[in-house]
Structure 1
Amino acid sequence: MSSEIQETLLQSVEAFHSSQLIKNKYENILEHLDSGIILFDREGVLTFINVQMAKLLEVSRKSLTGCTLQQILRHPQLSRFNKKKILRIYREAIFHRKKYHELSDESGRQWLLTVTYGEQMDGDFLFSVKDVSDFKQIEQTAYRNDKLAMLGKISASIAHEIRNPLTAIRGFIQLLRPHLVKLGKDEYARIILMEIDRANDIIYEFLNSSKPSAPQTTVIAVSSLLKEVVLLTESEALMKGCEVVLHDEAKPLHISVDVKQIKQVILNIIKNAMDAIEELGPEHEGIIEIRTRADQNSVNIQISDNGKGMDHNTLTRLFDPFFTTKESGTGLGLSVSYRIIKNHRGYISVDSKCGYGTQFIISLPTVEAQEG
């Protein structure tokens, strides 16, 4: 009898240890997930928080465990920004029963928060947060490419429809020109023809901008290309109260590019930087710095300025066709630049913050990488 009791007790102890090991194993997995996890019980007390969530909130796990929502919102180490986010999520999750939330942090990264509750949770509320910035970037790139493709088709159609009547008008004016000469009105014919030609040039530029032609590549030293660009922009920069500084790379780097197109991209970025500096007023000492850096099989051209910078909403739409913050802008410059760099098998990125300036990075494959 006693041996049976001992055996039963031993089995119970083994079962307890086994369940404890399984519990510890799963808790360890939850603690080290790349997603942030936080759990509140039915009384509103925080019973579990993993390492990632504590990092996101920038507060120690120990100081948060056992706290109610009110105590968390009064936590001295929790930033005001995070307190506002937590309160907003709580209201939407508890009162509006919203299960999914998209958030952006102070650095502009995108997060997806999921709330799980109901009978299966036995009254508990589970909040999980995952960084979806990369997925958002892919989504925006796909959306941007679709818009650019549509823009190319629309612009080609518009250009064709406008060019036809302009060609006819030009022909008739030339036929009428001898009669206008007799009437002493040759100047009228000259002006009409000049304006028709100007309209054709605008249409051509728009068409070329919305759908850049295939690159006609030439091997060129990056330093040589950038020196030419600096020479082209120096006088305008001085007029707008800023300086363009080129920090030349000691090691010679060569790229195979359509020189005209890449110049167009760099000039467009520098001109935008000048405008951003000019908006801060004549007393602001503006500086635009250009640097190059070799990065494995590519070269990075970094263009930074100390202008007014951009907010997150502007950054997310920066390369969209027709998006502009300028009164006289077309919104095509950066969308075209994006397409040109993509056609060169490179990429363009931007980092900016209001009051701290902007930095563009253009990455292009080196000649050695293209040959390989």
Structure 2
Amino acid sequence: MLSEFQKTLLQSVKAFQSTQLVKNKYENVLQHLDSGIILFDSEGVLTFVNVEMAKLMELPRQSLIGCNLLQMLRHPHLSRYLKRKVIRIYRETFLYGKKFHELVDEYGRNWLITITYGDQMDGDFLLSVKDVSDYKRIEQTAYHNDKLAMLGKISAAIAHEIRNPLTSIRGFIQLLRPHLIQLGRDEYARIILAEIDRANDIIHEFLNSSKPSAPLKSVIDIPTLLGEVVLLTESEALMKNCEIVLSLPEDSSMTVSIDTKQIKQVLLNIIKNAMEAIEEMDAEHRGMIDISAHSEGELVYITIRDNGNGMDQNLMNRLFDPFFTTKEKGTGLGLSVSYRIIKNHRGHISVDSTKGIGTVFEITLPMVDSKSAVVGASQ
């Protein structure tokens, strides 16, 4: 009789130990997830919080266990910013019943908030927070590429059909010009020709943005390239009360294989935009455009920084979209063309900006070693 009892007790202990091992195993998995996890019971008391969530909240895990939502909000070490975020998440998920909610933090990172509850949770509420910034960037890149593909189809269909009648109109206006001069109306002909040329320039941008020509690469040193760009822009900059400063590291080899004309087009476009952003500031504002370059590993980084008007996050998100512009006479194609050119060079272009402070563009290009440079120059 006693042995049967001992046997049953031993089995119960083993079952308990097995259950505890399984529990510890799954808890360990939850602790090391890259998502923040927090669990409230049916009474609204916090019963579990993993390492990632405690890190996001910048609070020790043990100080959160056993708190309800109100006590958590009153935590002396919870920042005011995080309190606002917690209240917003509570409102969106619990009050409005949204099981999925997205928010952007002060650093521009995207977060996906998910809440799980119901019969399968036995009355508990599981809240998870995951950084989805990388997925958002991939999604935005795919969306941008879809737009460019659509632009290519449109341009192939209509661009040449527009150019042909413009060429005919231009020819007839030139034939009529002597008669207009006799009538004292040469100004009319000049304006018409200028507008036709402007329309042709827009169509040229349109075609380039949909399908920039394949790069005709040659080997060039980045300091040489940037020096030429500064020479092309510094006189216009001075006229617009801007100073262009070129900063380059000493004794640094930064050789790239690029289509010099195309990359110059990108750099000149960014510098022109910087001048226009500076013009939007107060007339007494002294404009500064800093151009620098440095190498890291097999990449060269070109940075163009201005102290112009800057832009907000919404504007930055659409900056490389075709046809998006804030200028009255802009086509919205300059930066989308630049994006395609850098992409065709296996590079990357990014922007960071603060309204009222300025904007920073960074272009990354792959470098070539001395052996590749010799091969590239001979081709």
Length-normalised TM-score, structure 2: 0.88
Counterpart of 1:365, as a letter, is P
Give the unaligned 5+ runs of structure 2: none
C-alpha distance in structure 2 between counterparts of 1:235 and 1:295, whole Å: 32
Please name the residue that 1:325 is paired with: 326
Report the Cα offset of residue 166 of structure 1: 2.3
Please name the residue that 2:98 is paired with: 98
Pairing 1:216–2:227 present: no
Give the unaligned 5+ runs of structure 1: none
Aligned CA distance change for structure 1 residues 3 and 82 (closer, same or farther; 3 Å) = same
Question: Deviation digits for residues 348-372 of structure 1, max 9, x if unmatched?
Answer: 1222334553322211111237979
Please name the residue that 2:348 is paired with: 347
Please name the residue that 1:360 is paired with: 361
Deviates more, 1:37-46 or 1:319-328: 319-328
Pairing 1:69–2:93 present: no
Report the Cα offset of residue 36 of structure 1: 0.6
Aligned CA distance change for structure 1 residues 48 and 285 (closer, same or farther; 3 Å) = farther
**C-alpha root-mean-square deviation of aligned residues, in Å?**
2.7
Count matched residues. 371
C-alpha distance in structure 1 between counterparts of 2:308 and 2:160, whole Å: 40
Report the Cα offset of residue 151 of structure 1: 1.9
Counterpart of 2:55, as a letter, is K
Counterpart of 1:49, as a letter, is V
Q: Is contact 2:248–2:294 with CA below 8 Å preserved after alignment?
A: no
Deviates more, 1:164-173 or 1:55-64: 164-173
Please name the residue that 1:22 is paired with: 22
Aligned CA distance change for structure 1 residues 172 and 39 (closer, same or farther; 3 Å) = same
Counterpart of 2:359, as a letter, is T
Please name the residue that 2:277 is paired with: 276
Question: Deviation digits for residues 67-86 of structure 1, max 9, x if unmatched?
Answer: 11112222232222322222
C-alpha distance in structure 2 between counterparts of 1:185 and 1:261, whole Å: 43
Report the Cα offset of residue 51 of structure 1: 0.9
C-alpha distance in structure 2 between counterparts of 1:168 and 1:186, whole Å: 21
Report the Cα offset of residue 237 of structure 1: 2.9
Deviates more, 1:352-361 or 1:219-228: 352-361
Please name the residue that 1:293 is paired with: 294
Q: Is contact 2:246–2:291 with CA below 8 Å preserved after alignment?
A: yes
1:20 alignment partner, SS class: helix
Report the Cα offset of residue 195 of structure 1: 5.0
Please name the residue that 1:169 is paired with: 169
C-alpha distance in structure 1 between counterparts of 2:55 and 2:5, whole Å: 49
Question: Deviation digits for residues 95-122 of structure 1, max 9, x if unmatched?
Answer: 3221111111110011111110000001
Q: Is contact 1:34–1:130 with CA below 8 Å preserved after alignment?
A: yes
Please name the residue that 1:316 is paired with: 317
Aligned CA distance change for structure 1 residues 325 and 82 (closer, same or farther; 3 Å) = farther
Pairing 1:126–2:120 present: no
C-alpha distance in structure 1 between counterparts of 2:264 and 2:74, whole Å: 54
Aligned CA distance change for structure 1 residues 296 and 171 (closer, same or farther; 3 Å) = same
C-alpha distance in structure 1 between counterparts of 2:194 and 2:357, whole Å: 45
Pairing 1:48–2:48 present: yes
C-alpha distance in structure 1 between counterparts of 2:153 and 2:300, whole Å: 33
Q: Is contact 1:289–1:305 with CA below 8 Å preserved after alignment?
A: yes
- Amino-acid identity (%): 69
Deviates more, 1:183-192 or 1:116-125: 183-192
Aligned CA distance change for structure 1 residues 189 and 69 (closer, same or farther; 3 Å) = closer
Deviates more, 1:309-318 or 1:120-129: 309-318
Please name the residue that 1:110 is paired with: 110
Q: Is contact 1:210–1:332 with CA below 8 Å preserved after alignment?
A: no
C-alpha distance in structure 2 between counterparts of 1:174 and 1:284, whole Å: 45
Counterpart of 1:366, as a letter, is M
C-alpha distance in structure 2 between counterparts of 1:185 and 1:81, whole Å: 69
C-alpha distance in structure 2 between counterparts of 1:235 and 1:181, whole Å: 37
C-alpha distance in structure 1 between counterparts of 2:92 and 2:80, whole Å: 19
1:367 alignment partner, SS class: coil
Aligned CA distance change for structure 1 residues 72 and 356 (closer, same or farther; 3 Å) = farther
Report the Cα offset of residue 44 of structure 1: 1.1
Please name the residue that 1:225 is paired with: 225
C-alpha distance in structure 2 between counterparts of 1:100 and 1:260, whole Å: 48
Q: Is contact 1:173–1:189 with CA below 8 Å preserved after alignment?
A: no
Report the Cα offset of residue 328 of structure 1: 4.0
Counterpart of 1:270, as a letter, is I
Pairing 1:307–2:308 present: yes
C-alpha distance in structure 1 between counterparts of 2:360 and 2:140, whole Å: 20
